[in-house]
Amino acid sequence: MKRIRRAGLVVASCLSLVLACAGCSDGVEGRWEGTVTERGKTTRVGLSLSRDGGKLAGKLTLLSDTGQDVTKGHAFDLVDVAEDGDALTFVLPIGGTDDPDNVIFTLRLEGDTLAGSLREKRDNTRESPVTFTRTD
């Protein structure tokens, strides 16, 4: 009888762990929304990340106007996407692969948040904050 009770407790404990993790994230893959603040201007952006043949790839889409050359709805394919544990880096190719206007993102995954900074390739010292929240 004690074995049955003990087995029941083990099963109940395992079930509660599975249910608790039902909302756990699956790494960085998925859809994210957030804000990018650069030079005092905040822009809403969407980020989608997926694996293609084991390689991480993604797009960054403008969800609000920037007041610059690119407009709301414009999507950029990310390049140099790299993941190391909970760290994620990628380059937003504004004007081609080696353009000094390209923006480098350095983020860290914490639950359903990707947070960190961005910096222009030309000015490696000035960083701006960026935060994304998982939407799916």
What does the pLDDT look like over 30-43, one tens digit per residue? 999 999 887 778 88
Q: Which two tokens stand for residue 124?
A: 């490696």
Domain spans of the chain? 26-134
> Between 135 and 8, where is the model more confident?
135
Region of poorest pLDDT, from 65-69, 106-110, 122-126, 132-136: 65-69
Helix (H) or strand (E) run with residue 15 in it: helix 2-20
Whether the per-residue pLDDT at 131 is higher than 70: the answer is yes
Query: Using one digit for the tens of pLDDT, what is the confidence trace for 51-108?
Result: 988 899 999 999 987 666 667 888 999 999 999 999 999 999 987 777 878 899 999 9
- Which residue, chain included where needed, has tokens 């692969």? 97
| Residue bearing tokens 């960026």 | 130
Q: Give the global pTM.
A: 0.75
91: nearest Cα among 56, 64, 39: 56
Structure tokens at 118: 């961005």
- What CATH class does 26-134 carry? mainly beta
pLDDT confidence of residue 98: 74
